[in-house]
């Protein structure tokens, strides 16, 4: 076993910063547990807080440039709180190993190395309870796994009953991709899902890289308050409408259940805010507009990097990362996940991939096509099969509703529920 690991050190420090439930464990670490000087400095800063709640922004503001970069790397490397104990044990074991080596070298250098003295060094470390083994870590992981058997996994529901019935809920720590051609309704579809989280007092962060926050709230409130979307756009709200909207927004503000950012564009900022806010759901609209501090030779490699970073963030923050993406314009038929624009990374990183298809959008001169008919294609599902869920899109109220049948991967029709989703 090597006696230092930069990723382990970063993840331990990151977890202590990001997860409030772990901050009481700061008292268990010491500067000597860390091999890298910058990590020692961060540890010293954390210890000096004396139990005060950690604010990453304030913490970062009071450090030098090198420490600030190290802090950011630690936060981005934070694993889920459930995995902290494993990395903490490894950190302590490596620190113990370094101490043993240093003490043994000292004994040898001073010609004081005897069998007894060497044994005392080992026993001293054992007495501190810092020596662990891969076997111990493995046993702990097995025990944790057994404890969670037949326990419902933390998840969010989309609010669309038939789709949720098939998904079994979207698991925390996963990436959910929504792909569609332009003007198909992917933003509205994501907003409908966000509304369901608001109903359940689950926290959603919405990063809008194309529309203003005002536009997002207009669509959301049109759906939630049964107000014509056109009335928002043309400033024709009645006094009753205004009171409805104010009441809804006060509740959202009070519960802190939906936060819309329209001035955040980089993947790194999205990652940091996600780790700070600890939401249940993050919606990023949309992938092709995200920037990054890193430089790449092609759009494809840039998007692949961003996709991997956001996927890692979902695992670290233990939330659902919902990423909207355009698909290629070629063809008028149903899109597939290989059509996700300028990226193989999205296809690979997505735990779930849903593609929206409205035939009318691609063939508006065809009188046989309904403007409302939308196919919701679950094209990838790591935890189950794939399905096509037929929905109607109501542009007047910015609302999707389910119809009474859906298709499975073999294109067989099944009757499911009679009721439409309640928005």
Q: Is 34 domain-assigned?
A: yes
Distance in angstroms (rounded) separating the CA atoms of residues 244 and 226:
10
* Integer angstrom CA distances of residue 112 from 98, 107, 108: 19, 5, 6
Let me know the angle formed at the C-alpha of 10 by 9 and 12, rounded to the nearest 5 degrees: 65
Distance in angstroms (rounded) separating the CA atoms of residues 421 and 231:
24
Judgement on whether residues 281 and 142 belong to the same structural domain of the protein:
no
Measuring CA to CA, which residue among 423, 397, 395 is closest to residue 183?
A: 395
Judgement on whether residues 108 and 214 belong to the same structural domain of the protein:
no
Let me know the angle formed at the C-alpha of 344 by 338 and 349, rounded to the nearest 5 degrees: 105
The residue from 113, 147, 181 where one domain ends is 147
Q: 182-236 pLDDT, tens per residue? A: 888 899 999 999 999 998 889 999 999 989 999 999 999 999 898 999 999 888 9
Q: What is the mean pLDDT of each run of 10 residues along the chain (423 residues)?
A: 79 88 87 88 87 76 79 81 82 81 66 57 53 53 64 85 87 91 88 92 93 93 90 90 90 88 89 87 91 82 86 87 85 74 75 85 62 82 81 88 60 38 37
Q: 364-389 pLDDT, tens per residue? A: 666 556 667 888 888 888 887 777 77
The residue from 80, 112, 147 where one domain ends is 147
Judgement on whether residues 61 and 105 belong to the same structural domain of the protein:
yes
Judgement on whether residues 91 and 159 belong to the same structural domain of the protein:
no
Judgement on whether residues 222 and 269 belong to the same structural domain of the protein:
yes
The residue from 103, 127, 147 where one domain ends is 147
Judgement on whether residues 327 and 299 belong to the same structural domain of the protein:
yes
Q: What is the per-residue pLDDT for 135?
A: 54
pTM: 0.65
Structural domain span for residue 52: 6-147
Judgement on whether residues 54 and 82 belong to the same structural domain of the protein:
yes
Q: Is 1 domain-assigned?
A: no
CATH of the domain at 294: 3.40.50.300
Judgement on whether residues 240 and 379 belong to the same structural domain of the protein:
yes
CATH of the domain at 116: 1.10.860.10
Q: Is 420 domain-assigned?
A: no
- The structural domain count of the chain equals 2
Q: Is the peptide bond before 286 cis (omega within 30 degrees of 0)?
A: yes
Judgement on whether residues 225 and 105 belong to the same structural domain of the protein:
no
Q: 253-293 pLDDT, tens per residue? A: 888 889 999 998 888 889 888 888 889 999 998 888 898 87
Judgement on whether residues 371 and 292 belong to the same structural domain of the protein:
yes
277-307 burial, b for 16+ CB within 10 Å, e for fewer?
eebbbbbbbbbbebebeeeeeeeeebbbebb
For residues 221 and 299, is the Cβ–Cβ distance under 8 A? Answer: no
Judgement on whether residues 170 and 36 belong to the same structural domain of the protein:
no
């Amino acid at each position: 076993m090597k006696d230092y690991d930069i990723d382990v050190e970063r993840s331990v420090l990151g977890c202590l910063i990001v997860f409030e439930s772990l901050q009481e464990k700061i008292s268990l670490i010491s500067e000597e547990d860390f091999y890298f000087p910058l990590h020692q400095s961060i540890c010293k800063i954390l210890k000096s807080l004396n139990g005060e709640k950690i604010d990453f922004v304030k913490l970062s503001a009071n450090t030098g440039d090198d420490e600030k970069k190290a802090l950011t790397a630690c936060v981005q490397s934070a694993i889920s709180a459930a995995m902290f104990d494993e990395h903490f044990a490894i950190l302590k074991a490596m620190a113990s190993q370094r101490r043993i080596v240093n003490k043994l070298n000292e004994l040898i250098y001073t010609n004081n190395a005897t069998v007894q003295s060497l044994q005392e060094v080992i026993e001293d470390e054992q007495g501190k309870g810092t020596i662990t083994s891969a076997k111990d870590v493995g046993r702990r992981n097995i025990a944790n796994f057994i404890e969670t058997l037949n326990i419902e996994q933390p998840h969010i529901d989309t609010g669309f009953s038939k789709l949720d019935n098939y998904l079994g809920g979207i698991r925390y720590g996963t990436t959910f991709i929504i792909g569609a051609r332009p003007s198909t309704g992917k933003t509205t579809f994501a907003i409908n899902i966000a509304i369901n989280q608001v109903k359940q007092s689950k926290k959603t962060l919405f990063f809008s890289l194309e529309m203003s926050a005002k536009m997002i709230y207009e669509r959301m409130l049109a759906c939630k308050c049964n107000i014509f979307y056109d009335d928002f756009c043309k400033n024709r709200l009645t006094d009753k409408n205004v009171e409805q909207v104010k009441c809804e927004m006060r509740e959202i503000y009070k519960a802190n259940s939906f936060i819309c950012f329209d001035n955040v564009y980089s993947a790194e900022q999205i990652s940091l805010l996600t780790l700070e806010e600890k939401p249940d759901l993050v919606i990023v609209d949309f992938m092709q507009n995200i920037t990054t501090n890193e430089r790449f030779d092609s759009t494809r490699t840039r998007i692949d990097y961003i996709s991997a970073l956001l996927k890692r963030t979902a695992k670290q923050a233990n939330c659902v990362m919902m990423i909207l993406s355009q698909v290629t314009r070629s063809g008028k038929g149903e899109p597939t996940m290989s059509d996700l624009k300028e990226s193989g990374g999205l296809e690979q990183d997505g735990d779930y991939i849903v593609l929206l298809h409205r035939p009318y959008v691609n063939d508006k001169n065809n009188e046989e096509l309904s403007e409302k008919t939308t196919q919701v294609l679950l094209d990838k599902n790591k935890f189950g099969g794939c399905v096509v869920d037929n929905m109607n899109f109501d542009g007047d109220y910015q609302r999707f509703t389910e119809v009474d049948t859906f298709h499975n991967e073999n294109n067989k029709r099944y009757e499911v529920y009679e009721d439409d989703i309640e928005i």
